[in-house]
DNA sequence: CTGTTGGGTAATGTATACATTGGCTGTCCC
DNA sequence: GGGACAGCCAATGTATACATTACCCAACAG
């Protein structure tokens, strides 16, 4: 994929962590991981360092690399930040006003969400949902915000997948998104921000309830 | 300072960049920097990687490490994010309600700002202002938000110093902060968020005007 | 004179060697 | 039986060596 081993290892490990192929509660030693990936310690260390910066692992000297579990407190922190930054993106996009390309992308993603839901393809729905949120922040034209939101989204990925088949109100989520698109198209920044903030607050609440119901703390 | 060479180099380089001892527009080669710091390339590379993750440098393979200039567009992005996250912190702190320690810290920092202003110590004022904003986010209890805000603040440091002696209305800034403390103490989350958002929006506007007046783009 | 191509070179990406240091285990003492 | 301590060992932090590769410059063709 990427041309340097460091980049490749970074992507690979990131993917493995997100897909639970590397789990928390267990130390991974540099040499072990390096051998497992077929590279030497140098690029592995660099990849691990980047993962630490992005919040995916803790490097504890001599105790190995630890996957960071996502607790309810973490979810709460992350959703709080998303609740601030995504409505900001919605407002900005509405006030640009949003280019047709952006509206088209958002619309396509909602359509995909609806199709996935009809087909009972939860994983597909989650991916389309993610794509929707990604497109929203991407087109708002704030690179740093985009990077922050994207990283946070990836951090909650495991928890989202875990709670996916217990979630209710996925169709309401789709409706929220349709309304958001309409407001963005209408150039109503305040309205768009408002709708999306409510959407986020609801998602946050539901997610925390589900996690506590499942008795999970530390995904 | 730090015990490992990587950490030390990271702090050192970060400081040098913030204080303009390393300037943009010029490539710094790994070996050169390593020699300059009296370490080998390995820890230097790791430090540079962290700096890149935090947005302070661009590593361009074979072209050296480049200090990232902060343009008006960058300032705009950064202030936008601060404008979302800091009012959030203010609201949270007000609704906790804020512990005495937090209020004391904030009050002490405003006092320092006022004292510095009376003494015409602009640099001292800037440091106290920074400490105030830092305390605000620190006590809001969202570590990730804290880290984001802190990093962004550091990124605009050079630009802030550059415009410092042209700024007007520093006393109004102090007043804003006093009002913010009062609202936090009163437990008025919405009010606190509102005041602080306005404060941030004003700061943002002033900063961009100053930078364009000075004809600077890329600090 | 301009554009292109090829070689030299130097910076990087990566592997590896080595010293250091902190964790762990087993023993001894209380 | 529990806790302190010492020694061992392994994992890391760091330096360094080496192959690769892309940049730069010069020479050449058009």
Residue B41 beta carbon within 7 A of nucleic strand D: yes
Residues of chain B with pLDDT under 70: 1-2
Q: Do A81 and B81 touch (CB under 8 A)?
A: no
Residue B31 beta carbon within 7 A of nucleic strand C: yes
Chain A residues with at least one Cβ partner in B under 8 Å: 42, 45-46, 49-50, 53-55, 77-78, 80-81, 84-85, 88, 92, 142-145, 148, 152
Torsion of CA B156, B159, B162, B163, to 10 degrees: -100
Residues A174 and A128 placed together within one structural domain of the fold: yes
Which residue on chain B is closest to A84 by alpha carbon? B84
Rounded average pLDDT over A192-217: 92
Residues B123 and B185 placed together within one structural domain of the fold: yes
Domain boundary among A67, A84, A112: A67
CATH number at residue B56: 1.10.10.10
Residues A57 and A90 placed together within one structural domain of the fold: no
Question: Range of A39's domain?
Answer: 5-67
**Reduced 3-state DSSP string for A159-180:** HHHHHHHHCCCHHHHHHHHHHH
Which residue on chain A is closest to B87 by alpha carbon? A84
Contact B49, A49 (CB under 8 A): yes
Residues B37 and B77 placed together within one structural domain of the fold: no
CA distance B177 to A44: 46
Q: What is the pLDDT of residue B1?
A: 52
- Residue A150 covered by a domain: yes
Residues A108 and A167 placed together within one structural domain of the fold: yes
Residue A35 beta carbon within 7 A of nucleic strand C: no
CA distance B89 to B96: 11
Residues B61 and B77 placed together within one structural domain of the fold: no
Nearest nucleic acid nucleotide to A27, CA to C1' distance:
D11
Residues A101 and A53 placed together within one structural domain of the fold: no
- Residue A172 covered by a domain: yes
**How far does A115 lie from chain B, in Å, by closest CA?**
34
Residues A61 and A97 placed together within one structural domain of the fold: no
| Residue B99: CA count within 13 A, CB half-sphere | 8
Chain B residues with at least one Cβ partner in A under 8 Å: 42, 45-46, 49-50, 53-55, 77-78, 80-81, 84-85, 88, 92, 142-145, 148, 152
- Residue B138 covered by a domain: yes
Q: What percent of chain A has pLDDT over 70?
A: 99
Residue A46 beta carbon within 7 A of nucleic strand D: no
Which residue on chain B is closest to A54 by alpha carbon? B53
Q: Return the number of CB contacts < 8 Å for A and B.
A: 55
Neighbours of A129 (CB within 10 A): 22
Nearest nucleic acid nucleotide to A7, CA to C1' distance:
C13
pLDDT of A17 > 60? The answer is yes
Handedness of CA A80, A86, A88, A90 (dihedral sign): negative
CATH number at residue A81: 1.20.120.530
Contact B128, B154 (CB under 8 A): no
Nearest nucleic acid nucleotide to A41, CA to C1' distance:
C15
- Residue B219 covered by a domain: no
Give residues 86-125 of chain A lying near strand C (Cβ < 7 A).
Answer: none
Q: What is the pLDDT of residue A215?
A: 78
Residues A134 and A165 placed together within one structural domain of the fold: yes
- Residue A219 covered by a domain: no
Residues A98 and A54 placed together within one structural domain of the fold: no
Residues A135-188 pLDDT 10s:
999 999 999 999 999 999 999 999 999 999 898 889 999 999 999 999 999 999
Residues A165 and A191 placed together within one structural domain of the fold: yes
**CB contacts, 8 Å: B193 with chain A:** none
Report the residue of B85, B93, B146 to disrupt the A interface, i.e. the one with the largest count of A CBs within 10 Å: B85
- Residue B34 covered by a domain: yes
Residues A49 and A95 placed together within one structural domain of the fold: no
Choose the closest CB to B49 out of A50, A142, A144: A50
> pLDDT band for position A2 (50/70/90)?
low
Domain boundary among A67, A91, A118: A67
Q: How many domains does chain A have?
A: 2
CA B42 to chain centroid: 29
Q: What is the pLDDT of residue B40?
A: 95
Q: What is the pLDDT of residue B2?
A: 61
Q: Which nucleotides of C are covered by protein (CB under 7 A)?
A: 11-17, 21-24
φ, ψ for residue A203, nearest 5 deg: -60, -45
pLDDT of A18 > 80? The answer is yes
- Residue A218 covered by a domain: no
Neighbours of A2 (CB within 10 A): 11
Q: Do A85 and B81 touch (CB under 8 A)?
A: yes
- Residue A139 covered by a domain: yes
φ, ψ for residue A185, nearest 5 deg: -60, -35
| Full DSSP string of B153-195 | HHHTHHHHHHHGGG---HHHHHHHHHHHHHHHHTT-HHHHHHH
Residue A215 beta carbon within 7 A of nucleic strand C: no
Domain boundary among B67, B83, B108: B67
Rounded average pLDDT over A92-110: 96
Residues B104-145 pLDDT 10s:
999 999 999 999 999 999 999 999 999 999 999 999 999 999
Q: What is the pLDDT of residue A216?
A: 77
**CB contacts, 8 Å: A45 with chain B:** 46
CA distance B110 to B174: 6
């Amino acid at each position: 994929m990427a041309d340097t081993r460091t980049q490749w290892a970074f992507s690979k490990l990131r993917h493995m962590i997100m897909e639970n192929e590397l789990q928390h509660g267990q130390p991974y030693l540099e040499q072990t991981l390096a051998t497992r990936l077929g590279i030497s310690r140098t690029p592995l260390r660099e990849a691990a360092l980047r993962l630490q910066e992005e919040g995916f692992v803790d490097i504890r000297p001599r105790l190995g690399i630890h996957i960071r579990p996502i607790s309810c407190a973490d979810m709460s922190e992350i959703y709080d930040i998303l609740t601030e930054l995504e409505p900001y993106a919605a407002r900005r996009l509405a006030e640009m006003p949003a280019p047709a390309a952006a509206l088209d992308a958002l619309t396509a993603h909602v359509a995909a969400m609806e199709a996935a839901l009809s087909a009972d393809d939860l994983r597909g729905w989650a991916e389309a949902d993610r794509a929707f949120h990604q497109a929203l922040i991407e087109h708002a034209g704030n690179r740093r915000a985009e990077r922050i939101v994207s990283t946070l989204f990836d951090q909650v990925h495991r928890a989202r997948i875990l709670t996916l088949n217990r979630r209710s109100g996925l169709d309401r989520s789709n409706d929220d998104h349709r309304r958001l698109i309409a407001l963005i198209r209408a150039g109503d920044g305040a309205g768009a921000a408002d709708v999306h903030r409510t959407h986020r607050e609801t998602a946050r609440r539901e997610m925390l309830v589900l996690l506590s119901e499942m008795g999970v703390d530390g995904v």
